[in-house]
Amino acid sequence: MNTAQFIPKSTTSNIKEATFTWKTPSNIALVKYWGKSNSQIPKNTSISFTLNNCHTITSVKFSKIDTVATVNFDLFFEGKPKEEFTPKIAEFFKRIANYCPYIFDYKMVIDSENSFPHSSGIASSASGLSAIAMCLMSLEKELYPEITSDFINKKASFLARLGSGSASRSIEGPLVVWGNHKDIPESSDLYGVRFPFKIHTIFKNYQDAILLVDKGEKQVSSTVGHNLMHQHPYASNRFLQANQNISKITKILSEGDIKAFVNLVESEALTLHAMMLMSNPYFILMKPNTLEIINKIWEYRAQHNSNVCFTLDAGANVHVLFPESEKKAIHKFIDSELAVFCQHKQYILDEVGLGAESL
Ligand code: DP6
């Protein structure tokens, strides 16, 4: 794998001070990433919808200093210093140092805010890390003006991946594939690429309502969950199935086969949770209200000949997915029948988005 392409040569450019601000989205996987090997290499290919409304806005102010041995940064979240995020970001800088050696020449002040409620149970690492990665790439563009926008997106995804795998899918949109796959040209284990085929119009403005069932701390971190796939009795079949699902969904997304989409996406969500149920130690991340919502969705779908479906990430919240044509009816359904299963009746209406934006 060619990681050398991401190591910059030394430069004579001298940027004394610069501030960059990026808004980057969260994403929701349709075919899930669950299982990885060292340096964040996925065991199977995954694909996600990029979201629009759930995002992070991050500014990084770079001020030139004498080169230091340990990365020098201050971190603010919603205007206040955020000690508990510092170790994760310090670890991120450690992992990317080889590819961004210029970070040792700057003091960085990072200012971040999320559009979604703090500790809503929505993973903020994908949007948070991709935003920092884009700010770093803006500095790199100043230092190396010859780099192309294609390279910037690729390397930003590569850097974000080293922080958190799913963050590699939060640079572009509307659909991003991460992980090398025989049917997806240019796909790579190192970074996400935009879904390279025709996307049927029905999927271009797909809707996602995120029902906040449980806003508590996750009982099991993603990293622990991924690691449990190492001794998992069903791991190799799961990786095979996921890669087959990538081939299937490629056709579904191009042809607009919504019934097949519903089946594949729900099966992926339940398989992800089945892997958790069958690992050792075993764990259950769904809550009783997660199941109440799933049953209501199935009931509604049958009664109204609807195409609404659900997916889950590694938690209890439910992503309700539906085509734009059903927006009015599904909003009503959520409000009258599903919101009651959410903490404080909270949910977030989102839709497919196009990726990172410079502000
Ligand atoms: C269930 O990207 O959070 O959401 O690479 O350890 O940071 P790390 O894991 P993370 O895993 C996400 C898992 C998932 C499925 C997915 O988004 O594909």
In terms of domains, do 85 and 113 share one? yes
Asked whether residue 73 is assigned to any structural domain, the reply reads: yes
Q: Closest ligand 1 atom to the C-alpha of 223?
A: 6
In terms of domains, do 191 and 211 share one? no
Instruction: Write the pLDDT tens digit of every residue in 78-98.
Output: 999 988 889 999 999 999 999
In terms of domains, do 339 and 228 share one? yes
Find the DSSP H helices in the chain: 86-96, 125-143, 149-163, 222-227, 235-255, 258-277, 288-304, 327-333
Confidence of residue 1 (pLDDT cuts 50, 70, 90): low
Q: Which of 31, 44, 122, 226 to mutate to test the pocket of ligand 1 (most atoms within 8 A of CB)?
A: 226
CATH number of the domain that residue 108 is part of:
3.30.230.10
Residue 108 structural domain: 15-197
Tokens encoding 76:
């603010």
217 pLDDT more than 70: no
Q: Which residue among 167, 197, 227 closes a domain?
A: 197
In terms of domains, do 216 and 95 share one? no
Q: Residue whose CA is closest, atom 3 of ligand 1?
A: 222
Asked whether residue 247 is assigned to any structural domain, the reply reads: yes
Instruction: Write the pLDDT tens digit of every residue in 117-130.
Output: 766 667 688 999 99
What per-residue confidence (pLDDT) applies to 68?
A: 85
- The answer to whether the CB of 33 is under 6 A from ligand 1 is yes
Asked whether residue 10 is assigned to any structural domain, the reply reads: no
In terms of domains, do 95 and 214 share one? no
pTM above 0.95, yes or no: yes
Instruction: Write the pLDDT tens digit of every residue in 158-188.
Output: 999 999 999 999 999 999 999 999 999 999 9
- The answer to whether the CB of 222 is under 6 A from ligand 1 is yes
Tokens encoding 34:
């669950």
In terms of domains, do 240 and 261 share one? yes
Distance 33 CA to ligand 1 centre (A): 6
Distance 228 CA to ligand 1 centre (A): 13
Q: Closest ligand 1 atom to the C-alpha of 163?
A: 7
Q: Which residue has the higher pLDDT, 52 or 12?
A: 52
Q: Once rounded to an integer, what is the mean pLDDT over residues 337-349?
A: 96
In terms of domains, do 297 and 338 share one? yes
40 pLDDT more than 80: yes
Instruction: Write the pLDDT tens digit of every residue in 262-294.
Output: 999 999 999 999 999 999 999 999 999 999 999
Q: Once rounded to an integer, what is the mean pLDDT over residues 285-309?
A: 97
In terms of domains, do 189 and 214 share one? no
What per-residue confidence (pLDDT) applies to 310?
A: 98
Using alpha carbons, select from 156, 176, 163 the residue that is nearest to residue 45: 176
Confidence of residue 10 (pLDDT cuts 50, 70, 90): confident
What is the percent of the chain where pLDDT is above 70?
A: 97
Q: Which residue among 143, 171, 197 closes a domain?
A: 197
How far is CA 40 from its chain centroid?
Answer: 14
Q: Which residues contact 312 (CB under 8 A, 6 or more apart)?
A: 269, 270, 272, 273, 285, 286, 290, 318, 319
Q: Which of 31, 33, 47 to mutate to test the pocket of ligand 1 (most atoms within 8 A of CB)?
A: 33
Distance 316 CA to ligand 1 centre (A): 14
What per-residue confidence (pLDDT) applies to 342?
A: 96
Whole-number Å distance between alpha carbons of 148 and 355? 17
Number of domains in the chain: 2
What per-residue confidence (pLDDT) applies to 11?
A: 82
In terms of domains, do 253 and 122 share one? no
Q: Are 248 and 45 in contact (CB under 8 A)?
A: no
Average pLDDT, the chain: 95
Confidence of residue 140 (pLDDT cuts 50, 70, 90): very high
Q: Which residue among 163, 197, 231 closes a domain?
A: 197
Confidence of residue 14 (pLDDT cuts 50, 70, 90): confident
Q: Which residues contact 101 (CB under 8 A, 6 or more apart)?
A: 8
Instruction: Write the pLDDT tens digit of every residue in 224-271.
Output: 899 999 999 999 999 999 999 999 999 999 999 999 999 999 999 999
7 pLDDT more than 80: yes
CATH number of the domain that residue 325 is part of:
3.30.70.890
Distance 164 CA to ligand 1 centre (A): 7
- CA count, 13 A, side-chain hemisphere, 163: 30
In terms of domains, do 304 and 324 share one? yes
The dihedral through the CA atoms of 103, 104, 107, 111 has a sign that is: positive
Q: Residue whose CA is closest, atom 4 of ligand 1?
A: 313
- The answer to whether the CB of 165 is under 6 A from ligand 1 is yes
- The answer to whether the CB of 313 is under 6 A from ligand 1 is yes
In terms of domains, do 290 and 165 share one? no
Asked whether residue 147 is assigned to any structural domain, the reply reads: yes
Asked whether residue 358 is assigned to any structural domain, the reply reads: no
Using alpha carbons, select from 349, 48, 32 the residue that is nearest to residue 173: 48
Q: Which of 166, 226, 268, 283 to mutate to test the pocket of ligand 1 (most atoms within 8 A of CB)?
A: 166
- The answer to whether the CB of 223 is under 6 A from ligand 1 is yes
In terms of domains, do 272 and 320 share one? yes
Asked whether residue 359 is assigned to any structural domain, the reply reads: no
The label of the residue with tokens 């919808």 reads: 49
What is the percent of the chain where pLDDT is above 90?
A: 89
Asked whether residue 65 is assigned to any structural domain, the reply reads: yes
Q: Once rounded to an integer, what is the mean pLDDT over residues 319-331?
A: 98
Distance 14 CA to ligand 1 centre (A): 37
Asked whether residue 357 is assigned to any structural domain, the reply reads: no
Q: Which of 37, 95, 222, 313 to mutate to test the pocket of ligand 1 (most atoms within 8 A of CB)?
A: 222
